[in-house]
């Protein structure tokens, strides 16, 4: 439940919607939601503004599109994000298919709802900064399965990847990683849990994730969504162009497309300052938010220096960007924000209760 109604999350297999599924989701969002769709940092699509009375009809509609699991427990386990540049039958696709089938089996380990898997075995690493608990990734010519927070992993093949990942998930539960049904792998290791010997064999690859920006790719055209949100009307328009792949970077991949439409809310320019802003739903969509955030982000974007990152949070929780940012604005009242430099949304502010005009001046003087 959120401030504008229920939020219904879709975990599309392989992070992909066919044209019919895209059109169907757009229609259901308009009929049973408020016509707004969010793309999450784990490449899930969220239908906003659903009433409790309409929830059942929405789920029936999603089931008809093949986008609903058989039960909530299965849906909670099937939490896979894969790099979106896969091709049918390649290593990423085969591993994700096997892992998806294993996680939907009735005897699969019932991990916490936020516990997830990353499949990132292409020639370039794209998901190193994306939240996941078990990572299946490439190291040179080899593949490893690694616990998030560990520098080492188990050597695997495409055929053994899913079984090894589930073995690691079972260890996480058996070793007390989720004592009350909640928990994450990195935190479990930080508390001193020692991985099985098999997961201390191979050293992980180093370096930053390969950058992704709006524009053409070998698999189609990448287009960004303004602050990770799109209207159902625009989503329906995209259904007429190509199948969609969801990404964890607030971007959609128009599969096989050579160009992207110029529609409101879509970003085509990699230098657009809106791409550097992390912003939560804000008020009134989130009941905990003390101010609207997206409208503020839209107003402030032109005042950012080239490449300047900015985090705008409707409250001190900082959901849109849990880590530190060079500049963070935390709402303290309607249209009033504290400014934090090089910190998180709940850190001590450098300036308090700033209005929009005052923030613009502060951004002008930002390092």
pLDDT in tens, 270-304: 999 999 999 999 999 899 999 999 999 999 999 99
Rounded Cα distance between 31 and 47, Å, is 11
For strands 244-246 and 220-225, give the pairing: unpaired
Share of the chain above pLDDT 90, in %: 89
Q: Which of 260, 304, 262, 306 is nearest to 279 (CA)?
A: 304
CB 137 within 8 A of CB 206: no
Rounded Cα distance between 36 and 285, Å, is 11
Question: DSSP letter at 207?
Answer: S
Q: Which of 346, 303, 302, 344 is nearest to 327 (CA)?
A: 344
Rounded Cα distance between 142 and 147, Å, is 17
Rounded Cα distance between 203 and 153, Å, is 6
What is the per-residue pLDDT for 29?
98
Residue ranges of the domains in the chain?
Answer: 6-69+219-267, 85-203, 273-364
pLDDT band, residue 366 (cuts 50/70/90): low
**Beta strand residue intervals within 132-214, DSSP E:** 134-139, 142-147, 152-156, 202-203
Rounded Cα distance between 269 and 62, Å, is 33
- The domain 273-364 having CATH identifier 3.90.700.10: the answer here is no
Residue 269: CA atoms inside 13 Å, Cβ hemisphere, count?
7
pLDDT band, residue 221 (cuts 50/70/90): very high
Rounded Cα distance between 7 and 144, Å, is 35
> 61-76: per-residue pLDDT in tens?
999 999 999 888 888 8
Query: What CATH superfamily is the domain 6-69+219-267?
Result: Sulfite Reductase Hemoprotein;Domain 2 (3.90.480.10)
Rounded Cα distance between 154 and 140, Å, is 14
Rounded Cα distance between 332 and 134, Å, is 36
Res. 121: pLDDT tops 80: yes
């Amino acid at each position: 439940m959120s401030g504008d109604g229920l939020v219904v999350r879709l975990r599309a297999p392989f992070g992909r919607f066919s044209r019919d599924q895209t059109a169907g989701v757009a229609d259901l969002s308009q009929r049973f939601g408020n016509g707004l769709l969010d793309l999450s940092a784990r490449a899930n699509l969220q239908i906003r503004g659903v009433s409790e009375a309409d929830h059942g009809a929405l789920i029936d509609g999603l089931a008809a599109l093949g986008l609903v699991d058989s039960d909530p427990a299965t849906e909670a386990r099937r939490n896979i994000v894969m790099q979106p540049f896969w091709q049918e039958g390649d290593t990423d696709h085969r591993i994700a298919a096997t892992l998806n089938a294993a996680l939907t089996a009735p005897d699969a380990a019932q991990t916490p709802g936020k516990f997830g898997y990353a499949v990132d075995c292409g020639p370039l690493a794209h998901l190193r900064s994306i939240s996941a608990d078990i990572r299946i990734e490439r190291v040179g010519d080899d593949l490893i399965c690694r616990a998030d927070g560990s520098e080492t992993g188990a050597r695997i093949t495409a055929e053994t990847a899913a079984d090894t990942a589930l073995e690691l998930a079972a260890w996480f539960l058996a070793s007390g990683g989720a004592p009350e049904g909640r928990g994450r792998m990195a935190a479990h290791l930080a508390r001193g849990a020692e991985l099985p010997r098999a997961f201390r064999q191979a050293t992980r690859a180093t370096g930053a994730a390969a950058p992704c920006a709006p524009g053409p790719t070998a698999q189609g055209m990448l287009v960004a969504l303004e602050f990770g949100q799109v209207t159902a009307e625009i989503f329906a328009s995209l259904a007429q162009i190509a199948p969609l792949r969801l990404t964890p970077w607030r971007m959609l991949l128009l599969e096989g497309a050579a160009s992207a439409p110029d529609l409101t809310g879509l970003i085509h320019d990699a230098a657009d300052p809106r791409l550097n802003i992390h912003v939560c739903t804000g008020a009134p969509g989130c009941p905990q938010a003390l101010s609207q955030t997206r409208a503020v982000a839209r107003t402030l974007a032109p005042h950012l220096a080239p490449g300047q990152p900015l985090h705008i949070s409707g409250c001190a929780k900082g959901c849109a960007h849990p880590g530190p940012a060079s500049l963070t604005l935390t709402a303290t009242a309607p249209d009033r924000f504290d400014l934090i430099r090089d910190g998180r949304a709940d850190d001590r502010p450098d300036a308090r209760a700033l209005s929009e005009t005052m923030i613009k001046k502060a951004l002008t003087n930002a390092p």
